[in-house]
Structure 1
Amino acid sequence: MNLELKGIIPPMVTPLTENGDLDDKGLRKLVEHLISGGVHGIFLLGTNGESPSLTYELRKELISKACEYIAGRVPVLVGITDTSFQGSLAIAHHSKKAGADAVVIAPPYYFPISQNEMVDYLESLVPKLPLPFMMYNMPSCTKLHLSIETLRRAKELGALGVKDSSGNIDYLYSLIEAFKNSPEFAIIVGTESYLPETIQKGGHGAVAGGANFFPRLFVELYNASVDNNLVKVAELHQKVKGLYNTIYSVGKYESRYTKGTKCALAVMGICEDYMALPLRKFADIEREIIRGYIKDFDKNLHDVTM
């Protein structure tokens, strides 16, 4: 399969009801919101999707329904990372059956593992996968920062590219440099504020959490970066960086990014902001703060994304 990974691929949140079931109505609205915003793909069951906190049954339901609603309009990537090897394979095979286009692999979490053990893991897992795969570097959640040597081996095994969410821009640049002669191996940044630098250095796009609620902003920033429209890049980049001082700054702890993203979607009327335990949605006071931020952004986003 010739799957080109590029552009803006939101790590879609998983809409939930108050009792923890899948919010089907919210899922439909969210899918349409993303696609109408011009995104180039959708990534299910990533960090923003709360994957480790969801049952296998709910993950499978999300994959099936999301693929049905997306209906082939953009590529669908599914995170299969799990503490269980067989659990990862089960989600991968369900993804294939549901119509997804690729799976995404990060190091299994909980046990700290070495680079050699990660390579052994890939050499065992990849031959059993029913779909193409992409790597995911998320050391803050997995305890392993994927080395370039490990990623070279992943590429030899067929990896389509890597999403880097390390937050280390020097490492990101080293990835782009290491694979500059392999343009088919996509370098996708997970730190959304690094999008312009990623494209300017030769990378391919972003898995941007903020594209859940403002997809058009990120798509336009990507397009401006590709076109080397430096004036528009500067203007749009300021809007993206503004998210860190507003929506992403509400609340405590690192969970504020996912909670803020879901809360933004809720105040926009797209889906509810219920979270899977151990996370909890924001209280009313935080919700009203985010509502104010969304209103402020809405006032000035229209002109810069036209």
Structure 2
Amino acid sequence: MELDLELLSTVQLVPPSPFSQNGQELLPEVLEDFLREVHRHGIRVVLPGAGTGEFHSLSSTEVVSCVRATRNAIGREGIVVAPIGLGVSHALETGKGAIEVGADALLIMPPVHPYLSDEGVRDYFQYLMKRLPKPFLVYKKGPYPSDTLLEELGETDQFIGVKYAVNDLDAFTRFASRVEGRMGLYCGTAERFAPFFHLAGATGYTSGAGNLCPRLTLALHEALSEHRFQDAMRLLSILRPIEDARARSSDSYNISLLKAGLRLLGRDFGPPRPPQRQLTDEEVREIKKFLEPILEAEAALGR
């Protein structure tokens, strides 16, 4: 059940999930072909079907299909972290299927149930961990699970890390100092916040922008790891328009923008499924305009 945490200390790519034009059919072969390309550019950790992959719009079978396509694409060199969540039966079915097709670890997605408490979330986590024999990470995006519960869970070898997606740097700094060395800590809010989480103790971060510019975001992570913070902030300034645009209107452009950008690169991932935002023609033109210099910088790194 061991997984070398050093392997997770990098850019953790969250790819969109590709659909047919009516949004009904998942196209795992499109995902597999795309991930082969980004793997060649250096991406080594992938979270297929997670938040940016429209987890809440996918069936358990579809999540497993994304995991299988990812495993096929990146081979044994890379790390595949499969998302699980929603109801217990859905989480178990997804987790078992993901393990069967080669997931290295499981990521418990943020609970979306009403009336949450640490006591209930603890029961949920422990139930899943007891029945799914893989390392676990937790995606923290709200008050539950609390940092206190995460510390408690970190006492077990099976619980290996946190995707911390609450932008309270003071709370994260205090949490990181208390759990130092006991679990992996990763910024869950991508490039905009990655440098600041890194200073506070994170060693990697999840990325959606890496789908459009994998070389740039890998260079950003390398600069952070080598404490070249001026270079890191310069690279962030290049990437930042993607993240700023995705964050508009309560992050509702998160998935739609990436799918539009991939289409401009010749990678048609189809439309996002409702209730995700559909883009207007004017918005697509705007995206194309601000992406041009970013994609030029990405291509220059390739040369």
Is the shorter-chain TM-score for this pair beyond 0.5, marking a shared fold? yes
| CA gap 1:221/1:215 in 2 versus in 1, 3 angstroms | same
SS across alignment from 1:282: coil
Counterparts of 1:104-183 in structure 2 under 5 Å?
104-139=107-142, 144-157=143-156, 158-182=158-182
| Deviation of 1:238 (Å) | 1.4
Q: Does 1:254 align with 2:251?
A: yes
Percent identical pairs in the alignment equals: 21
Give 2:105's match in structure 1, choosing from 99, 102, 107. Answer: 102
Q: Does 1:194 align with 2:193?
A: yes
| CA gap 1:201/1:254 in 2 versus in 1, 3 angstroms | closer
Indicate the larger mover: 193-202 or 226-235: 193-202
Q: Does the CA contact (< 8 Å) of 1:37 and 1:215 recur in 2?
A: yes
Give 1:29's match in structure 2, choosing from 30, 33, 52. Answer: 33
Q: Please name the residue that 2:286 is paired with.
A: 289
| Deviation of 1:148 (Å) | 1.7
Q: Please name the residue that 2:91 is paired with.
A: 88
- Distance (whole Å) between structure 2 residues aligned to residue 244 and residue 102 of structure 1: 27
Q: Does 1:60 align with 2:64?
A: yes
The one-letter amino acid of 2:88's match is F
| CA gap 1:173/1:296 in 2 versus in 1, 3 angstroms | same
Q: Does the CA contact (< 8 Å) of 1:11 and 1:43 recur in 2?
A: yes
1:187-224 CA distance string (max 9 Å, x none): 00012212122223332100112112111111111111
Q: Does the CA contact (< 8 Å) of 1:119 and 1:153 recur in 2?
A: no
- Distance (whole Å) between structure 1 residues aligned to residue 181 and residue 60 of structure 2: 39
Q: Please name the residue that 1:41 is paired with.
A: 45
Q: Following superposition, which runs of at least 4 residues in structure 1 exceed 6 angstroms of deviation? A: none
1:222-270 CA distance string (max 9 Å, x none): 111111123311211212333234x4267x4532112112211111112
SS across alignment from 2:81: strand
Give me the TM-score of the superposition, normalised by structure 2.
0.90
1:7-52 CA distance string (max 9 Å, x none): 1001121111113212234212321232123123001221101111
* Long gaps (5+) in structure 1: none
Q: Please name the residue that 1:230 is paired with.
A: 229
Q: Does the CA contact (< 8 Å) of 1:273 and 1:281 recur in 2?
A: no
| CA gap 1:214/1:172 in 2 versus in 1, 3 angstroms | farther
- Distance (whole Å) between structure 1 residues aligned to residue 297 and residue 63 of structure 2: 37
Give me the TM-score of the superposition, normalised by structure 1.
0.89
SS across alignment from 1:110: coil
Q: Does the CA contact (< 8 Å) of 1:92 and 1:131 recur in 2?
A: no
- Distance (whole Å) between structure 1 residues aligned to residue 62 and residue 127 of structure 2: 26
| CA gap 1:289/1:168 in 2 versus in 1, 3 angstroms | same
| CA gap 1:266/1:112 in 2 versus in 1, 3 angstroms | farther
| CA gap 1:121/1:62 in 2 versus in 1, 3 angstroms | same
Q: Does the CA contact (< 8 Å) of 2:61 and 2:94 recur in 1?
A: no
SS across alignment from 1:156: coil
Q: How many residues align?
A: 297
- Distance (whole Å) between structure 1 residues aligned to residue 282 and residue 37 of structure 2: 26
| CA gap 1:249/1:53 in 2 versus in 1, 3 angstroms | closer
Q: CA RMSD in A?
A: 2.1
1:63-111 CA distance string (max 9 Å, x none): 22222222223100011011x1021011111111001100001343132
- Distance (whole Å) between structure 2 residues aligned to residue 299 and residue 123 of structure 1: 47
Q: Please name the residue that 1:207 is paired with.
A: 206
| CA gap 1:179/1:33 in 2 versus in 1, 3 angstroms | same
- Distance (whole Å) between structure 2 residues aligned to residue 234 and residue 107 of structure 1: 29
| CA gap 1:302/1:269 in 2 versus in 1, 3 angstroms | closer
| CA gap 1:249/1:43 in 2 versus in 1, 3 angstroms | closer
Q: Does 1:219 align with 2:218?
A: yes
